[in-house]
Amino acid sequence: MFERDHHRRIAAVLGALNAELLQSHHCYFGGGTAIALRYGEYRESVDIDFLVSDRAGYRALRELLSGPEGLRPLFREGSPGPIREVRADQYGIRTLVQAADRPIKFEIVHEGRIGFALPAEADRICGVLALTPLDMATSKLLANADRWRDDSVMSRDVIDLAMMQPAMPMLRQARLKAREAYGDSIDSCLAKAIDYLRQRPALLDKRISAMSMTATRAQVWQRIKALEAVLPPPTGA
C-alpha cells in the first residue's frame, strides 16, 4: 500500500488497532504522519499521533489506558502491544509500540483549543478514522504558530500544510478556525514561517533532504508560497 518501509510499519500498527473503540471516543489519526500518508508519501514521517478534542472521550481513554493493561485495549486480539509503560497526563497519552523490527512513538493528544468535525468514511487511513482535511490544515496552522521558530521541527508544519495543496476555500476555513483559538498570531506566524524559508533557500534544501522528501526545492517552495494567498494584505498596502 505504501512505498516507504517505515510507512509500511506504521500501516501495520494502524491496521492492528481497534478502530471502533477509537471512533467511539472521538479519537482520530492526525499529525504529520496522517498527512504524509494521505497525500502521497511526499516525506517520511516516523511517529503515530492520534488527537481527541472531545473532553469526555479523552477522559475515558485516559482512564482505560492508565489501567493494568496499558495500551492493550486499543489493539485487536493477538496484535502486538506497547513495549514501554504508558504515560498519561492532561495533555496526552504516550508510549512506544513495536512494529516489525523497530519501535514507534505512539501518542494520543488531547486537543483543547478547537473541536474536530466527525470524519467521513472516506477519511479512513488503514482502517482508522483520520482527521478531516479541514482539521488537518487547522491543526498545522496552530502547530506552526506554536513552533515555527524551532529548528528541530524543521519547518514541518508549514511544509506539511503546503504539500496538502489545500484549495483556497478550505484554507480560508482552516485559517478562520485556527484564529478562533490563536487570533492574529495565526496570520503573523504563517507569514514569518514562509519568509524565514524565503530568506534561506539553502536551509529549505536541508529540510527537504532531512525529511527524505520526493519533491524538488522549486516544487516545495512553489507550494509554500501559494499559502500566502490566504493572508490579509500588509497594513498600509
In order, the DSSP letters of 110-123 are E--SSPPPPPPGGG
Instruction: List the chain domain ranges.
Output: 1-131, 132-237
Task: Give the DSSP letter of residue 127.
Answer: T
For 182-208, write each residue's pLDDT tens digit.
999 999 999 999 999 999 999 999 999
Q: Are 162 and 226 in contact (CB under 8 A)?
A: yes
Q: Supply angle C-alpha 141, 236, 232, rounded to 5.
A: 25
Going by their DSSP bridges, the two strands 102-110 and 48-52 should be labelled as parallel
Whole-number pLDDT of residue 237? 53
Whole-number pLDDT of residue 98? 86
Distance CA 159, CA 100 (A): 29
Whole-number pLDDT of residue 78? 64
Adjacent-strand bridge partners of 50? 29, 108
Task: Give φ, ψ of 130 to 5 degrees.
Answer: -110, 165
Whole-number pLDDT of residue 74? 92
Whole-number pLDDT of residue 81? 63
Which amino acid is residue 199, in one-letter code? Q
Whole-number pLDDT of residue 99? 85
Whole-number pLDDT of residue 206? 97
Distance CA 216, CA 221 (A): 9
Can you read off the three cell numbers belonging to residue 159? 511544509
Number of helices (H) and strands (E) in the chain: give both, helices first.
10, 7
Distance CA 195, CA 32 (A): 21
Segments in the chain below pLDDT 50: none
Residue for grid cell 511544509 = 159
Distance CA 84, CA 98 (A): 9
pTM value surpassing 0.75:
yes
Task: Give φ, ψ of 13 to 5 degrees.
Answer: -65, -45
Specify the CATH number of the domain 1-131: 3.30.460
